[in-house]
Structure 1
Amino acid sequence: MPEYRYSYRLKRKVWMLDDADYAPIGAAVDNYVNARKDVRRNGETRLGVAAERDDLAALGQYALGLYEDKTGLVLAHPFDLRAVRAALYGPDCQFCSKPLRTPQAKLCAACGEDRATETPR
């Protein structure tokens, strides 16, 4: 079930997906990335050339479409989909309500509070 949470990479709130919901989207993004790598390996070394190919654009739009179908939210680039996996983030900070950047984080990156602190400084 998606959760509406803040993403540090996207600098806004987006629908975060659990691993089961993210799996097909992650696979589509992996296909997009691997196709871009293949184009570069085959001699089209400039990123601009690889990004303009219609087949690559279609793979990216497919990945974005999967996310939009699941959440109703439109993202700008297929690489943005890497930031919507809920497992990458920790629990919400008890002071500022933004998620900790990682599940192992000791401090909140947004407000600087210690994860174990009972009261704000």
Structure 2
Amino acid sequence: MSKDFKREDAHKHKRVSSGSWRSPNGTHSDIRREVKGAAPKPKAGRRTDKYVRGKHPSGYDEVLVNRPVELEDLDSETEAARIAGTVGGKKKAQILEKADELELKVLNRGDTDE
């Protein structure tokens, strides 16, 4: 959830993450009643901008890659590769090598020497 929306009473309890939004249910809840000065509540119309929506926080479009051959179709300016979770270590090393050749960004490099 966005940084704008804090979970109610998250600052009071260590076990409650402020990033995990839950709709407030309390009878006297200022957030539920949307009292002036209370924390904001997510509503329709508070969507992200169209040009940012669905992108990785780095600004690239994510493309899932399973094989080194699939890297050749990527545009290094706008797209970044994300190696699929089912890819093994040997093939992941091949994909990373090919990405370095083509100067592509890999979002989940892992513990590699860089």
TM-score (norm 1): 0.30
Q: Which has the higher helix share?
A: 1
For normalisation by structure 2, the TM-score amounts to 0.31
Higher relative contact order (CA 8 A, sep 6+): 1
Query: Larger Rg: 1 or 2?
Result: 2
